[in-house]
Structure formats: C-alpha cells, structure tokens
Chain A
Amino acid sequence: MSTTTPAPARALNASRTTATAARVLRQLRHDPRTIALMVLIPCVMLFLLRYVFDGSARTFDNIGASLLGIFPLITMFLVTSIATLRERTSGTLERLLAMPLGKGDLIAGYALAFGTLAIVQSALATGLAVWFLGLDVTGSPWLLLLIALLDALLGTALGLFVSAFAASEFQAVQFMPAVIFPQLLLCGLFTPRENMHPALEAISDVLPMSYAVDGMNEVLKHTDMTAAFIRDTAIVAGCALLVLTLGAATLRRRTQ
C-alpha cells in the first residue's frame, strides 16, 4: 500500500507533554467537584475505618496502610479511563493524532497530570492517617507517598489501556469491577496472601496491586528500606511503564 508510512519512533517532546498535562489539569479545574471528591473520599474512608476498628489499632494499621496504596490506583483508574474515553469519542483524539503530537507525549501528559493530582491526594490521606488518626508506621511516611504515587501511575496506565476497549462510559465504568475488584480481593487486604488457596496465591503473585500492598506493609514494619520494599516498588513501577506502553500502542492514528 502506497499511502502509509510508518511514523518514526521519536523521543518525548517535553513542551508538548507539559502542554498536554497543563490542559488536562485545566479541564479538571473547571470541574472542582471532581477534584474535591478525588481528594476528600480517601480521607473520609480512612477516618471511618479508624473508628470502625476503634478497639484494634493493629488492624487499622494494616488495613489503613494498604488502603493508602489502593485509593490512588482506583481513583486514577476511573478518572483516566473516562477522560481518555471522552477524548476518543469527542473527536479531539482524532484531531490530536492528525497533528504533530507523539502518542508518547499524550500518554506522558496524562500520566503527569494525574500523577500530580495523585501526589496531592496521597499527601493529604497519608498526612491525615499518620498525624491525626494515629496510623503507626515504623518507616518513613515519604516511602508511603512514593508507593502511593507509583500506584496512581499504575491506575492511570490501566485506565488508559482499558479505555481503548470501552465503546461507552457505561462500559468504561464496568471495567472497574473487572480490573480492580479481583486485585482488591487477592492483594492481601482482607487476608494475608500466604493464607490463600495456592492457586489464588499464584494469581495474586502476578497482579501488580499485590506488590503495592506488600510495599506499604514493608514500610509499616521496618525502619529502613528493605530489599523486599525495593523489589515491590520496582515491580509496581515496571508494571505501570509496561501498561503505559501498551496503552500507547492502542492509540491508532488511522482508524476505521
């Protein structure tokens, strides 16, 4: 066929990436309620949890720390999958891809924007949990924040990826139970992964959220960075990068 030429692989363009991130944040700024919900819901849930487990501080420590890793993943997954789906259905994606915007620029722009938001969300939730609700972390709260941020990136990546397979907002929302719930059940939040049926434990070994929760628990129990913590963060970061790349591959300049 004489009409296609493969686009040359290009490095990221910093200006276009930041312009995209700024645009996504600007869109959110016109929607303050979404921002408020994103930032406040994790705090409210932690607050509730603290008093649900009023009698057993140890349980709150475990579940609270795990949730600090899970919230950013879920919110960023939802927000990203809807935002990119809207980009696809409104025709702006077709327009952008007819312009000199690299697919990587677009994906990195989204990751940057939602990553920024995730930092705000996680900082507030972590601060509340550690200083006001008495979450007892042995390690540094900064490490909690680091995992939370990587989780947010993973959520963004999964959301981008999944939006390629959703034809409507209804479908996009249904991907949350499909993609997130199994991970939630198997990540060790409800019962330690070692206690699960071996088959389920094996599945949980290949799901990235398990490592996010493991990493959180490492910080909870150890004063300094353990080898396990480094392995867990590396796995979460690697998964995020892998899924982001897959997400970029789902963006097609030429469509039916």
Chain B
Amino acid sequence: MMNYSSRPPEEPAVHAQDLTVVRGPRTVLRGLDFTVPRGQITGLLGPSGCGKSTLMRAVVGTQAKVTGTLDVLGSPAGHPTLRTRIGYVTQAPSVYDDLTVRQNLDYFAAILDPGRAAADRRHENVTRAIADVDLTTHADALAGNLSGGQRSRVSLAVALLGAPELLVLDEPTVGLDPVLRRDLWQLFHTLATERGATLLISSHVMDEAERCHRLLLMRAGGILADDTPDALRTRTGSDTVEAAFLHLVDEAIAAGRTKETTR
C-alpha cells in the first residue's frame, strides 16, 4: 500500500459546485460537487458512459451548456488565461496523421510558446516530451504509421509540452502494455511530486486507481465517492478499490430501490 505526504491545505486546483452539463437531450452530469487538490493525482473512475469525458471537457473549457460553479486554478473554467496552464489529452488521440511525431510536437509547441526567441526552449521541450513518452526512436515516423498505443502517446506528449500546472488526461493508458503503463504512472508521479503539477486522470482500469492519491468514483452522471483509495477500502471493508467500487454501486442501486418503493 502506498503512502503520500499530506500537503498543507490550499486552494484546490478544481472546485465544482452544482456542476450540471446537458448534452443533446440528456443531462449528463447532475449537480456535482467536488474538488481536485493541487499537486496530487486524482483518478476519475466509473463505468462507460457515466460522464468522465464530459466532466474533463467541462474542466478544460471545451464543453458547452455547463451550469453551476466550476473554478479551475482560481479562474472560471474556460477562461482564456487558463489555456497555457492546462494540458489536455482527449480520449481519442488528437494528432495530425500526416505529420511526423516531431513535426506534430513542434507545431503545438509553437502555439503554446510562440516566437523566434523561444525556438531553443521549444526544441528542448519537444525533445523532452518525446523522451517522456518513450518515442525517441520513432520521432521521425509519421503519426499515421504508428501503432494505436504509440499514437496515443504522441497525443500525451503534446499535453506535456510547456509544463502545465494542471494535466487533464482522458484514459491516457488505454491499450498500452504493462511495462509502459508502469513507466507512465511513474512519470505522472514525478510530475506531481517534483513539478508540483495537478493531474486529473480518467481510467477504466481499477488497478490504476490504487496509484492515485485521491479518487472520484462516478456513476450515471453523479459522484459516488470522493476519497483516498485507503479510506475507500476501509470504509467499505474491501481489499481492493474495485471491490470498494462494486460495493458502493450496489449500495447506490439498493438506495435507489428503497426510494422508489417508499414513494
């Protein structure tokens, strides 16, 4: 079991109050309240379609029809000043298939840190980001010719450019082998502990939940639990986060039933 030093209480990286999102005819997120602490890894877990990606899009400010309060790094979500401070990886890799890995990163780096004066710094950042995701040997390959896992790593590398304060990663380790997943999680921990970055990472894989400092468990557009992995296991008397999650889901379903019968 892992232990993490507790940080002094400070303003959270993300603070949501009564956060509601409507997509098409559906209310996808219903009145969420949660906080994401700074300098830690917060895992966002829940079944497919529960609204993880929608929540992340709201945080980075690309989701329309968001109501309620959502403050990110001290500003309302979507504020123009946040655009350089947040790194975002969409669930589907978003890179240019007809550019090489390096050309992709060069372009996004030029958007984040423009101007000729910054050229050396950009080159360093790009080289480091490529190394971080272990693609140095493929730097000159076209992104379209890479494997699925390699392409998603290019997408991840783009988010690592420019050392953002908040990283929002939508299932960054899907389809990767165990060795690579371990290496990436090590990188995430380095980013949090050494650079003080805040990470919000969604995942389907419950064993990854054990590596987070905090967990947000979601189900059907609501938050089921907001706690540390340890506390979750203790509270539910389970051995693993997976068992804890299933326990909480059963509890929620049972609670829903009693509500219906008493109505």
Contact = CB atoms under 8 A, between A and B. Distances in A.
Contacts of A19: 107, 110-111, 114
A221 interface: no
B98 interface: yes
Interface in A18-42: 19-20, 22-23, 26-27, 30-31
B70 A98 contact: no
Interface string B71-103: 000011111100110101010111111110001
A-side interface size class: 20 to 34
A253 B114 contact: no
A95 B110 contact: no
Contact of A30 (B23, B58, B116, B142): B142
A99 B94 CA distance: 13
Given A30-B142, A92-B95, A23 B78 contact: no
Contact of B64 (A23, A97, A254): A254
B178 interface: no
B76 A99 contact: no
Contacts of A254: 61-64, 66, 78
A31 B83 contact: no
Contacts of B83: 98-100
A94 B96 CA distance: 13
Interface residues of B, number: 44
Contacts of A5: 75-76, 78-80
Contacts of B88: 95, 98
Interface string A80-111: 00000000001110111111110000000000
B23 A256 contact: yes
Interface stretch (A8-16, A135-143, A179-187): A8-16
Contacts of A20: 107, 111
A91 B92 contact: yes
Interface string A141-182: 000000000000000000000000000000000000000000
24 contacts: A2-B70, A3-B66, A3-B67, A4-B66, A4-B76, A5-B80, A7-B80, A13-B114, A16-B110, A19-B111, A19-B114, A20-B111, A94-B62, A94-B94, A95-B108, A96-B111, A98-B88, A100-B80, A101-B111, A252-B64, A253-B78, A254-B61, A254-B63, A254-B64
A-B interface, 4 closest residue pairs, ranked by CB to CB distance from nearest: A91-B94, A15-B114, A19-B110, A254-B64
Given A253-B78, A254-B66, 6 more contacts: A2-B68, A3-B77, A3-B78, A5-B78, A91-B93, A95-B108
